[in-house]
Structure 1
Amino acid sequence: MQTLAVTQSMSEYSSLLSDLSENITNEDLEQLKSACKEDIPEDQSNAITCSKDWFSYLEKNDKLAQDNLSYIEHIFEISRRPDLLTRVIEYRTTVLKISEDDEIDTKLTRIPSAKKYKDIIRQPSEDEIIKLAPPPKKA
């Protein structure tokens, strides 16, 4: 039974990477590679020509795994790709079942980025909306 869960989880992870790859253009890839230039030597960076190569490189160098997405969350955040970041967060919360509360304990991912974009997506509640007083009446 355990192997079925692992296989299903790997499949979900592959699906996530495939989905992310489809939404990364060559221009995006250059920006993402630039964002992680400290972790990818230039000669190896030049060999990365598509997003699948990029993900593969990150996996080989322990920057990415099905249960460790904090690095790409950070890269998507600094590359200003909230759409990609949101997909990773969705995967983490639905597939890995890691909520923000769990994250604080496990330190698996960067909380600030996840929370920031989550708040953008979520509508504020009545209590959170700031109500302004009417302007003073002129005498």
Structure 2
Amino acid sequence: MAEYRSLLEELAQNITAEDLEQLKSACREDIPSGEGDAIATGHHWFSFLERHSKLDRDNLSYIEHIFEISRRPDLLTKVVQYRTQVLKISEEDEVDTKLTRIPSAKKYKDIIRQPSEEEIIKLAPPPKKA
């Protein structure tokens, strides 16, 4: 639990007031009207997400998605490092998590998979010039 709190503290320290407005905007559908004004710092934002079951030490996919669409790769990288190093999530689980960050992506999971060798269409070499 200490690593999780440390992660949130580090993330909160790297969220400016401008960043916070962008993050709140990215998740505005999940913030009831009137409650957005009470979220004044990164710490408040994380507390709000925890209270509304959008974030806990074993489930970081929501903030990963928000950091991704808010174009904060630096914060996203910190979360992914925590998940892979502290939670020990395998590469296969990592792919599943990426696909399920957005609920509508679940139905496309089979389409997104990598094709097998047999499924790859081989192209003939271009004709040689005479």
Q: Could you state the TM-score of these two structures normalised by the residue count of structure 1?
A: 0.69
| CA 59–29 in structure 1, closer or farther in 2 if over 3 Å, else same | same
Shift of 1:99: 2.4
Cα distance in 2, alignment partners of residues 28 and 38 from structure 1: 17
**1:85 counterpart SS class:** helix
Tell me how large the CA RMSD over aligned residues is: 1.6
Shift of 1:112: 9.0
The aligned runs of 1:73-112 (5 Å cut-off) are 73-104=64-95, 107=96, 109-111=97-99
Q: Which amino acid aligns with 1:34?
A: S
**2:28 counterpart SS class:** coil
The aligned runs of 1:105-124 (5 Å cut-off) are 107=96, 109-111=97-99
Structure 1 unmatched runs, 5+? 1-9, 114-139
Residue of structure 2 equivalent to 1:37? 28
Shift of 1:79: 0.1
Shift of 1:100: 2.3
| CA 111–89 in structure 1, closer or farther in 2 if over 3 Å, else same | farther
Structure 2 unmatched runs, 5+? 102-130
Residue of structure 2 equivalent to 1:131? none
Residue of structure 2 equivalent to 1:4? none
**1:96 counterpart SS class:** coil
Cα distance in 1, alignment partners of residues 46 and 100 from structure 2: 23
Q: Could you state the TM-score of these two structures normalised by the residue count of structure 2?
A: 0.73
* Residues 100, 111 of structure 1: 8 Å contact kept: no
Aligned residue pair count: 101
**1:52 counterpart SS class:** helix
**1:17 counterpart SS class:** helix
| CA 111–86 in structure 1, closer or farther in 2 if over 3 Å, else same | farther
Cα distance in 2, alignment partners of residues 97 and 111 from structure 1: 18
Shift of 1:102: 2.5
